Structure 1
Amino acid sequence: MPAETSLNWTRKEYITEAPTWCSVDLRDGNQALIVPMNLEEKLEYFKLLVDIGFKEIEVGFPAASETEFAFLRTLIETDLIPNDVTIQVLTQSREHIIRKTFEALKGAKKAVVHLYNSTSVAQREQVFRKSKEEIIDIAVSGAKLLKQCAEETEGNFHFQYSPESFTGTEIDFALDICNSVLDVWQPTAENPVIINLPATVSMSMPHIYASQIEYMSEHLNFREHVILSLHPHNDRGTGVADAELGVLAGAQRVEGTLFGNGERTGNVDIVTLALNMYSHGVDPKLNFENIPAIISVYERLTKMRVSERHPYGGELVFTAFSGSHQDAIAKGMKWREDEEPRNWSVPYLLIDPKDIGREYEGDIIRINSQSGKGGIGYILQLKYGLNLPAKMRENFGYCVKNVSDQQQKELMPDEIYDIFMKEYVNINNPVGFVKYRFTDNEDFQTIVTIRSDNEVKEIAGTGNGRLDAISNALQTHLRIDYTDLFYYEHALETGSKSQAISYIGITASDGNVYWGCGIDVDIMTSSIKALFSAVNQMCRNTASVNG
């Protein structure tokens, strides 16, 4: 760690303002693809980046190939670059490459020319076999040629310098070479310079990288006219942490890619960085309101796949299979509905999935053998308007989990609904409901027509209410006994609004509770059907039908 670092960044709790973002998808990301994008694909990807809101886009290494050169010329000559977007191109500090780069840039309205050369101990000793002074001379010669070519070429140009392999470079030498380049370019308020400090290979814990960034920030020449930039890679799996701590340490700009595509383990993922800021209430200045659509274009053009567990973008990152997680989420969503809080706060959900184009239905809660009653009930209520009583949710939950366990698969909402309809709703076997009528006496007396053993019969009953009278008729005729009749009903809020749904639970003499459900346009008829369904459930399980 640099000895003279103040470590002010350690006293900051979170990032309060989005850095300048520079997408390097079309250069760093593209060169890491098994099959790099062709011209048409790069044009479509450029449009995607513009639509997301990137104001700085590194479009390639125009001296590296004809496709790269042609892409840049197409952008400029067909006026595809919005006025508020600055393109960036990469060039090694070699004369013929720099000149070819400016040839490709002719007529650019706003462009950053990104100069780099390797500075690490390993590169100096093993690859270039040059001294520190010789490495500085490469950088300074390139910086001077950039100034000359910029003056000779039509266009509006700004400069950026990267000591490639910064993390493998002695910090004092990294500072010397950057200051040598700055002394050539002489940045001003009107013409600032970008100094980019890449973790070309991530080699340390994030706090070390942050301390290196802070040291450079505090000791760079012309600091008030320097835009300090980061370019973290993800070799140690800490690219996001490197970038976040680097911004706390003084960096003003971050280069990265969508979903972290890049060589080896990739670049830093700008989607994750931006939405991490969003989760803290900071506007990231990028539009990720429709992550599924962005992923669709990204995967088609890059032939890469966003992992199911990738932060924010992954198919399963907002999904709970665990019963306790599902129950907490369902209750949290209900609490939001009732309380209407100003800020987002739901158990297990960092942000509102709808803010990035994800749907509650099918995204948040998905059902398998590990799921619980809360999640299963939530699916039925959200998608089908079925608000099961709490005890019935538990009963149905075991039923669904058994099916998932036996079939060894996740169950889709329609499959869950079908199980519910088959096992609980309007069950007419072994005793089928046909019709009913009540007499006009003061006591509730009823005549119920049923179908049993392939015969249609009429049975009579009396009770303290209509449903109680029908219940007594069934118990007498079937020679069964149950207590604690639980009843709940509501209008169906989806599908046909004229239908009512009733839920009934009965406790058999053995202590087991059996549930049934009835759906009908008439509320009384739906209640009777629910009772018949519960009684049939009990009869099926106790084999007690004698009438």
Structure 2
Amino acid sequence: MSEQERVYIFDTTLRDGEQSPGATMTLEEKLQVADLLDEMGVDVIEAGFPVASPGDFEAVSEVAKRVKRASVAGLSRANKRDIEVAAEAVRFCERPRIHTFISTSPVHMKYKLQKSPEEVLELIQMSVSLARNLVDDVEWSAEDATRTERDFLCRCVETAIKAGATVINVPDTVGYATPEEFADLIRMLIERVPGAEKVIFSTHCHNDLGLAVANSLAGVKAGARQVECTINGIGERAGNAALEEVVMAMRVRNDVYPFTTGIDTRMLTRASKLVSAVTSFPVQYNKAIVGRNAFAHESGIHQDGMLKHTQTYEIMRPEDVGAGKTSLVMGKHSGRHAFRTKLKELGYELSDNAFEDAFRRFKELADRKKHVYDEDIEALVDEEIATATDRRKVVALTVIAGTMGPQTATLTVDEDGTHRTVQATGNGPVDATFNAIKQAFPHGARLALYQVHAVTEGTDAQAEVTVQLRDEEAGISAVGRAADPDTLVASAKAYLSALNRLEARKARVRPMSTVGDEPLPEAERRAGP
């Protein structure tokens, strides 16, 4: 493959992906994801929006110090303060990048920016040239490019190139374009804009119509050589183009998409599981490439075909994306070595302390279940990763339920090493359990989602519970997820996990007092291509 056929993967899981309502990650979780992205071969990691909050600045800075081969990008609006803060955040990276953007569509310029086209052009010139004076690699994005008048978009791109941009990003910010339209837009810019041959054109497609991956691939065929995407396709509203789908489409259908990436596809399933664990966003069962059912065959006709030849119903091998087969080899007699080996097979690398905690919980689970499936272990370890830094945890729960109410929950919790026991009643055992947590930790958040499903088959299956809490006053939400053979215990753990994340997020959205006097509103903090 020639250099022109190389497609660069720009991962924005830590920035655009984290903007999914409730998908907030702690610093340690962001570093875990960044390490894995770097290891799997991602070319550019967009680590955050540095000016948004002290937490975002610290995350970008720490990722920049930590990664070994990827570029690290910090997002900024088209103003001096944002750009200087972004430059400071990425300065420790060997290949730092500033990603600056401004809206260019008529509706955005009129209602969002309240600026004229000429004023927008002046801001593009100022922001890109300032960024280029601070770093060698500058990406410029035309927010809402697909709804921008073409002649004006060409003027904007030409201005950015002349000011020193090295990458031109063409976002389908609201997921409005079709593949044919998006390909034509990329092709038009490359053909019409002077200096287009000097820069890399990039796609950034949202999935509002379910076309993000199709639009990204169409853009690549039309000449784009960078794709912006996220693990599991997480992101604002319906999400972004899914990294795993873009990469595997180019690998499996190389006859149609004759391009190469630097991604080690055997790590895709592992990355999917990690991002799902730290965000508490479950992956839908029928999700392409990494979903639980992606390589499952239940139809008798399909099973017969698979037994005769796998290619009858599989266009790629599970091992190509790091997906293994479910097995029943683990049980209460399994030792540490076998458990550590199993974790490696499933794509997990744990610290010594985390491993000991996970092993202890595995042995407890094995005493309660006849068979321990791979999915059981995944659920157990995912919860361990997600709650490792939580200040508050469930220690014990006893619930009295039945037809004679009210139901009663007695809950013991741990907060920074101190145990406390509370008791509450409610309209059912779940309500009583959640009321007990509210009594232990008073708060005004609203329960926006409560969801339960079985991890595996059987009456002794673990229940996996997802809880979303929303703070209406702050306008933010958080998701917690937990698994346990006892549904009520899983519910309590998930609720408390969501509460921990909500409070952590409220602390993180405070503006940076060291880089300016104006608070950054939530709406602007969540801005981007």
TM range (shorter): 0.5 to 0.7
Map 1:196-211 onto structure 2 (within 5 A): 196-211=169-184
Matched to 1:320, the amino acid is H
Residue in 1 that maps onto 2:294: 317
For 1:142 and 1:111, how far apart are their aligned partners in 2?
Answer: 16
Residue in 1 that maps onto 2:7: 19
Contact 2:145-2:172 at 8 Å conserved across structures: yes
Matched to 1:288, the amino acid is T
Give the drift of 1:358.
Answer: 2.8
Matched to 2:317, the amino acid is D
For 2:158 and 2:260, how far apart are their aligned partners in 1?
Answer: 33
Residue in 1 that maps onto 2:437: none
Tell me whether 64-73 or 305-314 shows the greater mean CA deviation: 64-73
Gap change, CA 1:288 and 1:134, over 3 Å in 2:
same
Give the drift of 1:106.
Answer: 3.4
Equivalent residue in structure 2 for 1:307, among 277, 284, 297: 284
For 1:174 and 1:212, how far apart are their aligned partners in 2?
Answer: 10
Residue in 2 that maps onto 1:327: 304
For 1:220 and 1:171, how far apart are their aligned partners in 2?
Answer: 11
Residue in 2 that maps onto 1:354: 319
Residue in 2 that maps onto 1:118: 103
SS in 2 for 1:100: helix
Give the drift of 1:347.
Answer: 1.1
Can you list the C-alpha shifts for 1:172-218, whole angstroms capped at 9, x where unaligned? 11111110122222x6xxxxx10000111121321111101100111
Contact 1:57-1:86 at 8 Å conserved across structures: yes
1:169 aligned to 2:148?
yes
For 2:218 and 2:174, how far apart are their aligned partners in 1?
Answer: 17
1:132 aligned to 2:123?
no
Structure showing greater radius of gyration is: 1
Equivalent residue in structure 1 for 2:187, among 196, 214, 238: 214
Matched to 1:81, the amino acid is V
Matched to 1:80, the amino acid is R
Structure 1 runs, 4 residues or longer, greater than 6 Å off: none
> What TM-score do the two structures reach when normalised by structure 1?
0.56
For 1:310 and 1:178, how far apart are their aligned partners in 2?
Answer: 36
Structure 1 unmatched runs, 5+: 1-15, 151-155, 188-192, 334-345, 364-411, 415-547
Contact 2:231-2:272 at 8 Å conserved across structures: no
Contact 2:140-2:169 at 8 Å conserved across structures: yes
Contact 1:37-1:302 at 8 Å conserved across structures: yes
Give the drift of 1:99.
Answer: 2.1
SS in 1 for 2:217: helix
Equivalent residue in structure 1 for 2:66, among 50, 75, 80: 80
Equivalent residue in structure 2 for 1:101, among 64, 68, 86: 86
Contact 1:33-1:302 at 8 Å conserved across structures: no
Gap change, CA 1:173 and 1:44, over 3 Å in 2:
same
SS in 2 for 1:54: coil
Map 1:30-429 onto structure 2 (within 5 A): 30-76=18-64, 79-82=65-68, 84-148=69-133, 150=134, 156-185=135-164, 193-281=166-254, 283-333=260-310, 346-359=311-324
Coordinate RMSD, CA, aligned: 2.3
Map 1:465-544 onto structure 2 (within 5 A): none
SS in 2 for 1:117: strand
SS in 2 for 1:73: helix
For 1:221 and 1:127, how far apart are their aligned partners in 2?
Answer: 29
Gap change, CA 1:240 and 1:35, over 3 Å in 2:
closer
Residue in 1 that maps onto 2:431: none
Give the drift of 1:25.
Answer: 0.7
Gap change, CA 1:206 and 1:35, over 3 Å in 2:
closer
Gap change, CA 1:112 and 1:261, over 3 Å in 2:
same
Contact 2:290-2:323 at 8 Å conserved across structures: no
Matched to 1:351, the amino acid is M
Contact 1:354-1:360 at 8 Å conserved across structures: no
Contact 1:159-1:194 at 8 Å conserved across structures: yes
Larger RCO of the pair (alpha carbons < 8 Å, separation 6+): 2
Aligned-residue sequence identity (percent) comes to 28
For 1:297 and 1:86, how far apart are their aligned partners in 2?
Answer: 21
Can you list the C-alpha shifts for 1:394-425, whole angstroms capped at 9, x where unaligned? xxxxxxxxxxxxxxxxxx999xxxxxxxxxxx
